[in-house]
Structure 1
């Protein structure tokens, strides 16, 4: 098996999985396939479980990848031949849209390399309270222990990709600014994207980002932007007359040991008629990733 120099990871909330339109799905997944992705983290997989998962099988053929569909057909992960799934977890019952969570081996790293956890998530749209709880539970996949053949245990690295339905802390130059609550025309959306702060005023919801970062997960786009690569923090949803300005709703988080493998982050824009979210693309150095996974395994000795 030839090991690629770069691994491409793509996260995408493809709106309503094409809204039941096979032609739209075909266009969308041809676009994905054209990116040469090795791992795809998908959200809004509605209908992929129907009729013996025929839609899921269709998508596997279009992408040339194997897929794992999460509970209630909300999220999924697709992987090429470089990855082997060794465990799939059920989500906590509090999730409105359950994530897909897998332990995966990067097989070119060899048998003396640790698996890592991959999570495709979609946090709650309407309730900032439930969204924070979901984000807190999301951190548990960054704390998964794995038994080695020697009988000791290690904590697995983790990569979580998805739709946070909330905002990152606006502490990076060049990133979309936080909306002003009263300038959001859709009043229910004001509730959906804000919470009541300690002084009784409503604040724009950045709490899931704060929770994930408190747990040690790093926003890879922010990481790259702080190094000067401002394209990494481009919008992932466009300005909308009712919902507010451009925003970086879709984000990829990794545990710190994986950061040295992150070589590039960018956003692939798609037309609104295809989806209301753009794609987030992360390029990983394959050799560095393999070294990291082998080092994690060795560190458990």
Structure 2
């Protein structure tokens, strides 16, 4: 440019920068004070939660970083991107020239955060393996027992009692939490909502596992050798046999298929139980409704097997002659 034009542009540099800074400051103020900022803040909290979990899991490349001295920093990328969009909507072409800004602010400083991260990683590993170890020990103990149905019955009763005690402990902990934080820190309603939101998954899982233990205990009792259990099984088998007899007299028979079902009844039921267990694993977190649905499916399978199977007819004893 000619020297005179260059001098004129130099004189305009400071006012232009001041005007642009004032415009951006106004847009930022409008964004923060707008109703839409609630959505931005909620999105920021969701991102912060995801990144906090990533930090605790020591994942590389996360925007939320935990330094060795316990300083936790949070970037404001979500808010900055919204400001850039607002500038572009107002026709400020310079918004397209703003690069991706990785601006972060310290939100907490505590040396214990590093210890928390280490404990979290240990807890995640233990939380994954301990249930399988416990299940393996339970199965091994039942298999080694002399009276397996009785061992399974009392093991299930003990597990159900433990889960019910845990549920009661959650209720007691809720009361202590409400008394500790309300009304000095937050209202009782807000504290109750916060506690219920945090423990909702744990509460539903505990209830589902307690129900599972009760159902297994009931099945073990029916399969046991007590007088009441034997009478129950005899009554059920007699009723099913009567239904099969009525069907046979009306020309409805399962034929060879029923003979095969009777022969492989045990493996069929075991396969059904394995499928039910796999469904509960796939449907994690375990819910009360999932346990009820899977239990109903197993019950339907047992009823179908009993109705379809065709046991061999016992030979009649020869008549005695005088």
Which structure has more relative contact order (CA 8 Å, sep 6+)? It is 1
More helix by share: 2
> Which TM class, normalised by the smaller chain length?
under 0.3
- Rg comparison, structure with higher value: 2
More strand by share: 1
TM-score by length of 2: 0.21
TM-score by length of 1: 0.22
